[in-house]
């Protein structure tokens, strides 16, 4: 019994260390918002599922990667093509990414995966950077709930 408690404590400490390592490894400003995605798996998956793989949205996006959520665990190093529809502009950006980690949030039903963007055109990265910076600026300067589209148009005409 005592060994089981110690084992669980060690597991919890390892998870906390892993999460801290991920946070310190982040190199770019992040935007915590949900965006619609459509993924295409570019690499082979051993033992693919019988059901359709659905990853419908991303969260915690940056210029270097994002966290995606879906119904199937994606193996580490799986290559993906991601069509990302940005929430506020409804603009779609296509990026390629590699799965860096995957964990079960609700076993057998719901998974999260961390994806690092790789081999993505410079133009897509610049568009994503502009979007992240402008939405973060909007959140910091938003005068009483002005819609993002109005805020963005106003700020474009000022530059």
**Alpha-carbon distances, residue 82 vs 32, 65, 70, 138 (angstroms):** 18, 11, 13, 25
Which pTM value belongs to this model?
A: 0.70
- The predicted pLDDT at position 52 comes to 77
Q: What rounded mean pLDDT belongs to the chain?
A: 79
pLDDT of 76 over the 80 cut: yes
| 118-141 mean pLDDT | 86
Of the chain, the percentage scoring pLDDT greater than 70 comes to 69
Closest CA to 81 of 41, 127, 126: 41
Specify if 18 maps to a domain: no
Specify if 15 maps to a domain: no
18-35 as b/e, with b when 16 or more CB fall inside 10 Å?
eeeeeeeeeeeebbebeb
Q: Could you list the residue range(s) of the whole structural domain that residue 81 is in?
A: 29-158
Specify if 11 maps to a domain: no
Specify if 20 maps to a domain: no
Specify if 98 maps to a domain: yes
Specify if 8 maps to a domain: no
- The predicted pLDDT at position 118 comes to 94
pLDDT of 155 over the 60 cut: yes
Q: In CATH, what number is assigned to the domain containing residue 100?
A: 2.40.10.220
Q: Which residue has the higher pLDDT, 101 or 2?
A: 101
Specify if 21 maps to a domain: no
**Distance between CA 98 and CA 105 in Å, rounded?**
20
- The predicted pLDDT at position 24 comes to 39
- Which residues, other chains included, contact 42 with Cβ-Cβ below 8 Å and sequence gap of 6+? 79, 80, 81, 96
- The predicted pLDDT at position 4 comes to 54
Q: What are phi and psi of 138, to 5 degrees?
A: -55, -45
Element (H, E) at 36: strand 35-41
Band (37; pLDDT cuts 50, 70, 90): very high
Number of domains forming the structure of the chain: 1
pLDDT of 51 over the 80 cut: no
């Amino acid at each position: 019994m005592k060994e089981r408690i110690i084992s669980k404590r060690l597991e919890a400490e390892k998870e906390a260390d892993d999460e801290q390592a991920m946070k310190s490894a982040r190199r770019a400003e992040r935007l915590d918002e949900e965006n619609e995605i459509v993924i295409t798996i570019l690499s082979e998956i051993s033992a693919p599922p019988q059901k359709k793989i659905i990853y419908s949205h991303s969260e915690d996006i940056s210029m270097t990667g994002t966290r995606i959520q879906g119904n199937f665990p994606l193996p580490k190093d799986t290559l993906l093509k991601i069509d990302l529809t940005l929430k506020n502009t409804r603009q779609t950006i296509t990026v390629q990414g590699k799965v860096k980690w995957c964990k079960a949030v609700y076993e057998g039903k719901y998974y999260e995966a961390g994806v690092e963007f790789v081999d993505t055109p410079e133009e897509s990265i610049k568009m994503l950077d502009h979007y992240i910076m402008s939405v973060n600026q909007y959140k910091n300067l938003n005068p009483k709930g002005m819609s993002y589209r109005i805020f963005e148009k106003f700020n474009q005409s000022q530059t």
